[in-house]
Structure 1
Amino acid sequence: MILSKKKTPVYQKIVFSITEYLKKKGYENIQAQGIDEYQDPAHITRKGADESFTPDLTARRDGSKHYFEVVDYPKKDKNLIVSKWMILSTLAKQLNGKLHLMVPHGQMSFTNRIIQSNNIDAQVLSLKEL
């Protein structure tokens, strides 16, 4: 499995805040990693590769499936994040949804550089705006 996030209290607090935000925005069938009240999102496996990962959150609105990722600057391989975001963006498009990158303070320029240089279709939202 790639990009496995530790379920730290800070991570759980961020994910819980996002679930509250999604409910207010009219999203349904919310699935969130590491939050007891929610089912974990399904694992995604890349065809022809031994890579699998789980989105931080998924939700539906108006029949479309949306993927949500908490941006975390990589300490190891940035290519894994690029790969994950590209796959989630493609899946979201196929399901008439969108990839949403939820960005903590200090990581906005990193996020924008990655999506622009790799042509990733994603909506970027600062966690301060929640």
Structure 2
Amino acid sequence: MNKALRARISVALALSAAASAFAADEPWAVAGQQGLVRLVIVPAALEKDTEAYARQVARLCEPERTCFLNFYTNSTGAPLAVPLPDAISNEATATFRRSTKNGAERFMWSCRMKLQEPCF
């Protein structure tokens, strides 16, 4: 492989990594809310990034307050609406639940992500 091609590949990889890091730190779209549950759209590139979810939970949930989040990707680019269109609701990635009443907090992956057992 010649030096020019290697340099271009290195630049492309660096830009891709920078774009992912930027997307991880940007607020994710909240499609809406149903009761206490907020519906959050995850950038596809970050759908399995546990740390990115943790940053979003910290942004969206006030400390020591009840907070329910459902996370989804939107690979088809369907318009955001509540209730969610099937194209989005079929792409659940995770849920976050914090109940101050029960003193419990839980993050759980969707079974379609194949990251955790048990899953939903």
Q: Given the two structures, how large is their TM-score scaled by the length of structure 2?
A: 0.31
Normalised by the size of structure 1, how large is the TM-score?
0.30
